[in-house]
A and B are shown apart, each in its own frame.
Chain A
Amino acid sequence: MASARTQALAQPSFFREKILLGMTVPAYLKSLLTPFNAVAAAILAVGVPILVYRFAAGLGATTNLSQAYPWGLWIGFDMMTGIVLAAGGFTIGATVQLLGLKDYHVIERPAILTAFLGYVMAIIGLLADLGRPWNIVMALVSYGSASALFEVAWCVMCYSSVLLLEFTVPFFEWLGWRRVHAVLKKALLALTVLSVMFSTMHQSALGSLFLLAPTKLHPLWYTPFIFIFFFISAILAGISMVIVESSLSHKLFAHRLEGQPHVDMDKLLIGLGKAGALVSFAYFFLKLQGIIDGHAWGYLLTGYGALFLVEILGFVLLPSLLFAYGARNQRVKLVRVAGVLTVLGIVFNRLNVSIFAFNWQNPVRYVPSWMEIVVSLTLVTIGVLCFRWVCNRMPILWEDPAFSHED
């Protein structure tokens, strides 16, 4: 009896190895005491109760939404921005699986994980924003198929499921479940095709939502082709987010990458920079065409014109030149800077469309309440914590060598 017990102790337990990273419980808890975690804990300590309070007390008690501003930060940032910044999942998925650029394989898993967490956080944000979130199931039974939001709802639902399935490949590698892992790995190609299909539809449909607001959205942003703008900028966001996120994670998780085969990240970033230059240049001219098509030149000299120019010159044209120069002259740092600028620019664009340039003729403006901001911050924090938790445990930044031959 006693010997059996010592044997059990000597054998590395699943929990200790897989969850506690091989540490004892006290040692693991101690390792959690970092400044970053303290800040994260403080945000969660405020944000999570607010999220609960919102469901108990309603939107009026927690948000600054009004009759003129039915959509605020939770839609403009959590949903619009959250979804577009998660576009790396399908962009890199298609690059690796469909275009066959296998070098990018090493950044596919982090991109898919980022996308999956991004969608989950966007859905939580959406549930907080919906007045009657329990009725979200109505989308399954009562078809408002004349609505772009119906398309968004279905595609987000389907694509989140696809992302979950794609994520199960490293998940089952982590658990060591070979049989189901092999099945899902074979399904990756089909899942990637679905991910591109669903993303094309809902990334653009998020823009189509505003087609019904021709009198409310400023003419510099309103265009009958806004859905194409949203889709192209989603590809751009996907490329840029992957640049930012893989630069960060390879720095932050450097200790976890020791002993893994060396990957020339700089070469990959230069390649992504080339793609970024192309797409952002195209997007810049598309934005110009939006002005021409809407006969909106006159608005460029107004305050909204300044906002628009900052967006397309500072956050589209400038990064596109940086991407091109950096990629041409092998300056990885410039590519990173351009990536960060582009990500910020797309956040800025989504906020412009859904908040700043919305209701532009209405003297009453919307400013988010502190509780709205804290909830948005909380969701980002939860996303980052989940990403770190998974990356520290599961084969995300590398592949388990024991599984890699099962291609």
Chain B
Amino acid sequence: MEFSRRSFFKIAGATAGTGLLAGGTARAETASADDKPGVLVDTTRCVGCRACEAACAEANGLPPPPEGDDVLAARRDTSQTAFTVINRTEAPGGGDRFGKKQCMHCISPACASACPVRALDKQPGGPVTYNPSKCMGCRYCMVACPFDIPKYEYESAVPRVRKCSFCAPRQAKGLPPACAEVCPSGALTFGTRHELLEEAKKRIYAPGAAYVRHVYGEHEAGGTSWLYVSDVQFEKLALATGMPDRPYTDLVAGALGAPPFIMTLWPPLLMGLYTFSKRREEVEAGEHAPKHDEEVHHG
């Protein structure tokens, strides 16, 4: 439903005046998204036990993650068989910090807006989920995602896009995502987004707090369901940075507003051109040849 309303504004968005209205809907979406579930990651509380990785693998029927801390030596990315990974970096005062990577479940997901067949779709409850029976395998979602989350089963002859579903099936049963449920250190807090934002800001602005004064995910790519607070720079935690704060759907809004106008304006304009050229031809023919010749020719 969200999409149809948005596409209405896309049509309208091509004209300057309605740009304001489109901005209004973006804000309205954020407001309703704030009542939906999210997770707050507090990297200062993460101990790097990687229980979340194991729980994720179990919940999604994926191979169990490698055991032992050796895997933390190299930077890892999520893959078609691992929907969440922990990366390690050094804290400013010594010691380790850990960054958890998984799908951010954007409020206006680039992947879902890129998908031409809505195989990737934003659920009303918040999760961005994938339906392989609709997917044609164009992989535009992978091009679009600023966090590089969708991964592809290139080795398969019947490949799927693979990524974290925010444990949508579990959430439908009223359960928290597997990773958030298993986290023993309190690094992952599952709740509604506005509660989490309040909590995040309370922590980072607390007197004497060593946090970076930014909630990662509050505005990135228009805002995400997953939010991070940290006392090390976010890029050091292997989190993608540098993407615009506007919802990604806004980036194409202008271009996608054009087709209705092309479809309604091109045909009459082109037929007008044709009429002019035909008229010119007739006038020229009339000047060069006497009229009765013309009649004989057509008769």
A interface vs B, CB < 8 Å?
A: 55-61, 63, 65-68, 70-71, 94, 97-102, 129-133, 135-136, 138-139, 142-153, 189, 192-193, 196-197, 200-201, 204-205, 207-216, 224, 227
Contacts and interface: CB of A to CB of B under 8 A. Distances in A.
Interface residues of B, number: 65
Given A130-B137, A189-B274, A200-B266, 4 more contacts: A67-B79, A129-B138, A132-B137, A133-B136
A91 to B, nearest CB: 13
B270 interface: yes
Given A145-B3, A193-B270, A215 B255 contact: no
Contacts of A200: 262, 266
A142 B156 contact: no
A67 B143 CA distance: 10
A212 B118 contact: no
A327 B165 CA distance: 60
A193 B258 contact: no
Contact of A196 (B142, B258, B270, B276): B270
A150 B10 CA distance: 14
A98 B105 CA distance: 49
18 contacts: A59-B154, A67-B148, A70-B143, A97-B274, A100-B281, A130-B137, A131-B159, A138-B134, A139-B136, A142-B134, A144-B116, A146-B256, A193-B271, A197-B263, A197-B267, A209-B140, A209-B143, A211-B251
B182 interface: no
B137 A147 contact: no
Contacts of B119: 138, 142
A131 B136 contact: yes
Interface of B: 3, 6-7, 10, 77, 79-80, 110, 112-119, 132-140, 142-144, 146, 148, 151-159, 240, 242-244, 248-249, 251-252, 254-256, 258-259, 262-263, 266-267, 270-271, 273-274, 276-278, 280-281
Contact of A67 (B142, B256, B270, B278): B142
A156 to B, nearest CB: 11
Contact of B154 (A65, A135, A153, A210): A65
A214 to B, nearest CB: 6
Contacts of A209: 140, 143
B273 A99 contact: yes
Contacts of A98: 270, 273-274, 277
Given A146-B3, A201-B262, A212 B114 contact: yes
A271 B34 CA distance: 61
A98 B267 CA distance: 11
Given A58-B154, A67-B148, A149 B140 contact: yes
The 10 A-B residue pairs with the shortest CB-CB distance in the complex, in nearest-first order = A131-B137, A100-B277, A60-B154, A70-B139, A70-B142, A212-B144, A150-B116, A208-B255, A138-B117, A135-B136
B137 A133 contact: yes
A147 B140 contact: yes
B252 A215 contact: no
Nearest to B113: A146
